[in-house]
Structure 1
Amino acid sequence: MTDTDEKAITGQKVIMHSFGDPEPVLDGRSMFEYEYCPMYQNHYEYPYDIDAVAKMYHATSHHTSALITKRNVLVSLYKPHPKLSRQAFIGLVINLLVFDNAYVQVVRNRLGGVLQLRPKLARNTRKSIKGEGYHHVDYRQGAAIEYNEQVIHIFNPDINQEIYGVPDYLSSVNAITLNEAATLFRRRYYKNGAHAGYILHVSDPLSTQEDVDDLEDAVRESKGAGNFKNLFMYTPNGKPDGVKVIPLAEVAAKDEFANIKIASRDDTLAGHRVPPQLMGVVPNNAGGFGDAKKAAEVFYWHEILTLQNMLLDINDQVGETIISFNEYQLTKSDS
């Protein structure tokens, strides 16, 4: 290298910056990896992140629709009772489906008769460490208040602990969050102008370092939406074409958006064990999903009947028949 070349590059350096911070994605395993019930103050906490599960309720259309499909079938068969209205029954069912824990406060008169059954939010109810009682937890007030009346707790037994139920669909939590992430990515992609960012390559030497800094700031302020990044690369005395804007590759052909949505949808429905034809899912093949009536009948006998039996257990604990269901039939002509 000659003395002239050394002088030409004195004070010049290659500058390369990327703009746009990665957004954290909810780690699926952190929602249900506790495997035990932590003790806090005077009660047991859930063996999974119940707040995260509550937020995930509206994460994707398939996850929400699967839960609502089960809820609607149960509610349509329920016989309203003066001591447990249809509206109250809906609240009881949705807590059982989402959290696999449902609580009913039994209000009795002085003679011990049942006046009313009041469903309680599973998100705010905890099992007492001492005795068989339950607490209403409100962390905003910093206190856990024990219920004075009897509280009935129904849930599916877990393999790691015997205090709370754990939703079966948590096995497909990664599919649910992947489906949501794919949708959010595509939304950001179109919001960003249907591209995933660009590389601004400047090889012509700018007059001063201040010009470089100003250009760098301008690119930084124009960063894309969400996870999309723009890259500023400054290589003085580089190759021809001093300034280039290089768009990143087309996302439409690279991200397999449709395949991700279909695969994560199928995993989600498998976790819920709900036939897709009962949820309005459009089939990808000409043959479709098969007879919806037969699928509905199998769905009832394998899934809904089990949930009904869990809810009927409340009658045994109360000592009175309050919850009852009509016979399942798809049309009035069915026997």
Structure 2
Amino acid sequence: MNLKTMLLGKAQNFLKDNLNLTSHSQHEAFTFGEPTPVLDGHDLSNYLECYWNGRYYEPQVSINGLSKSCKATPYLSSGIIFKRNFLANLFKPHPQLSRKSFEQIALDFIWCGNAYVENIQSRLGNTIEYKPALAKSMRVGKDDTFIMLHNGDEGFEEWQFAQNTICHIRETDIDQEIYGVPEYVATLQSAWLNESATLFRRKYYNNGSHAGYLMYVNDPSLDANDVSSLRSALRNSKGPGNFRNVFLHSPNGKKDGVQIIPISEIAAKDDFASIKNISRDDILAALRIPPQLLGIVPQNTGGFGSIKDASEVFYQNEIQPLQSRIMQINDWAGDDIIQFNDYQLRTGE
């Protein structure tokens, strides 16, 4: 036994003794990573409430993030606009508050949970009109002061309004009492999932580099000429009038001699329709809008029921509470500048 063979044997014995290796391969199954809550690590923000940065309070929920999320999926955007249109249609214009101004107030209150109304006064202190201040740019300061953030001619600027000229109405929140939080915050994950599913499918089709299938031929009865003819037939099936059928005749062929193997069938890889439907239902549940009012086509033969009944219930349970909250502006203005007509559904009779 030479030195090389002796050293190799000692090394193998050492590995077997210390690493518990055997001549037979073994399979081992193990798990790693414990379930982690999605909200874990964000508890500190609940203690901070709304951070005071020295000039104004920072909103607990990102206003810019909410603005982008409203446009993430058509269901969320359409639901918000639907509520805005419902309110604007019933609004009674006032000499000091136009319908256009009210539409902005209603939209800000629904998408942001905050609405700001400015009292435009004359030099004598009389009210000329009430105008909305865009909720996306408004911030709350101390001692009932309000600041608007905007990009002016000289760059980023902060404009502070005069005392007692801004009325702020907000949705209630369980963590703080400075800013309102829209009621659809709980469904933002579903809205983002809906957007991600759409973007994934759109990128897949725009990519265009995916193959449709693999034709596997192992039939010994096909010679080179037959293969060339088959290749030409497949090439000619593309272009105008595509999706043509190809006929192959092999008298002495064997079973599975020619196989069509799909290698990029995305419909079997993800559940696009299910994701879209489930996330849509989550969004509509958060907005509490019956699906038939948004023009959603039912998937069952029974449908969604009477659209007239759904509209009346939606008005009583959703629109009237919204009206009462927006009418808080009347208490601040000391005048009934916001009034609504009674809802009457036209049946065409």
Distance in 2 of aligned mates of 1:55 and 1:153: 23
Match of 1:115 in 2: 128
Query: Are 2:327 and 1:312 equivalent residues in the alignment?
Result: yes
Q: Distance in 2 between matches of 1:259 and 1:194?
A: 26
Query: Which letter does structure 2 place at the counterpart of 1:108?
Result: Q
Higher relative contact order (CA 8 A, sep 6+): 1
SS in 2 for 1:173: helix
Q: What residue number does 2:242 align with?
A: none
Tell me which residue corresponds to 1:277: 292
What displacement does 1:247 show? 8.3
Match for residue 144 of structure 1 among 149, 158, 169: 158
- Contact 1:92–1:102, Cα closer than 8 Å, also in 2: yes
Give, in whole Å, the separation in 1 of the partners of 2:89 and 2:323: 12
Q: TM-score, normalised by structure 1?
A: 0.72
Listed as ranges, the matches of 1:226-245 within 5 Å are none
Partner of 1:323: 338
Contact 1:93 1:102 in 2 (8 A): yes
Q: Secondary structure at the match of 1:40?
A: coil
Structure 2 residue aligned with 1:263: 278
Pick from 307, 310, 319 the counterpart of residue 292 of structure 1. Answer: 307
- Give the secondary-structure state (helix, strand or coil) at the position aligned to 2:131: strand
Q: Which moved more, 1:133-142 or 1:269-278?
A: 133-142
One-letter amino acid of the counterpart of residue 305, structure 2: G
Q: 1:79 maps to which residue?
A: 92
Other structure's SS at 1:118 match: strand
Question: Which amino acid in 2 is paired with 1:175?
Answer: S
* C-alpha spacing 1:137/1:194, structure 2 compared with 1 (3 Å): same
Q: Please, which of 56, 59, 69 is the counterpart of residue 56 of structure 1?
A: 69
Aligned mates of 2:174, 2:61 — CA distance in 1:
13
The match for 1:132 is 144
1:156 aligned residue (154, 171, 181): 171
Which structure's CA Rg is the greater one?
2
8 Å CA contact retained: 1:71, 1:90 = yes
Whole-Å Cα distance in 2 between the matches of residues 72 and 307 of structure 1? 13
Tell me the equivalent position of 2:193. 178
Structure 2 runs not aligned, ≥5 long: 1-37, 214-260
In the alignment, what sits opposite 1:242?
none
Cα distance in 2 for residues equivalent to 1:319 and 1:56: 36
Distance apart, 1:133 and its partner CA: 1.0
Task: Please tell me whether the aligned partners of residues 51 and 57 of structure 2 are also in contact (alpha carbons under 8 angstroms).
Answer: yes
Mapped to 2, the partners of 1:264 and 1:37 lie a distance apart of 30
Pick closer, same or farther for the CA change 1:42–1:264 going to 2, 3 Å.
same
- CA offset at residue 197 of structure 1? 11
Which residue matches 1:10? none
User: Could you say what secondary structure the match of 1:43 adopts?
Assistant: coil
In the TM superposition, what is the alpha-carbon distance from 1:249 to its structure 2 partner? 3.9
Give the deviation of 1:110 after TM superposition.
Answer: 4.6
CA distance in 2, matches of 1:197, 1:43: 57
Three-state SS of the structure 2 residue aligned to 1:93 is helix
Runs of 4+ in 1 over 3 A off after TM superposition: 32-35, 109-113, 139-143, 194-198, 246-249
State the alpha-carbon separation in 1 of the partners of residues 70 and 197 from structure 2: 17
Q: CA RMSD in A?
A: 2.5
CA distance in 2, matches of 1:293, 1:247: 48
User: How many aligned residue pairs are there?
Assistant: 258
State the Cα distance separating 1:319 from its structure 2 match: 0.6
Report if aligned partners of 1:196, 1:251 keep a CA contact under 8 Å in 2. no
Three-state SS of the structure 2 residue aligned to 1:116 is strand
Task: Give the alignment partner of residue 90 of structure 1, picking from 84, 100, 103.
Answer: 103
Structure 1 residue 330: deviation in Å? 0.9
In structure 2, C-alpha distance between the alignment counterparts of 1:284 and 1:99, rounded to whole Å: 32
CA spacing shift, 1:182–1:323, aligned 2, 3 Å: same
Shift of 1:196: 8.4
Tell me the secondary structure at the aligned position of residue 332 of structure 2.
helix
Distance in 2 (alpha carbons) for counterparts of 1:194 and 1:283: 35
CA distance in 2, matches of 1:146, 1:192: 50
The equivalent of 1:65 in structure 2 is 78
Contact 2:79-2:287 at 8 Å conserved across structures: yes
Does the aligned pair in 1 maintain the 2:150–2:158 contact within 8 Å?
A: yes
Normalized against structure 2, the TM-score is what?
Answer: 0.69
The alpha-carbon distance between structure 1 residues 173 and 194, as it changes in their structure 2 partners (threshold 3 A), is: farther
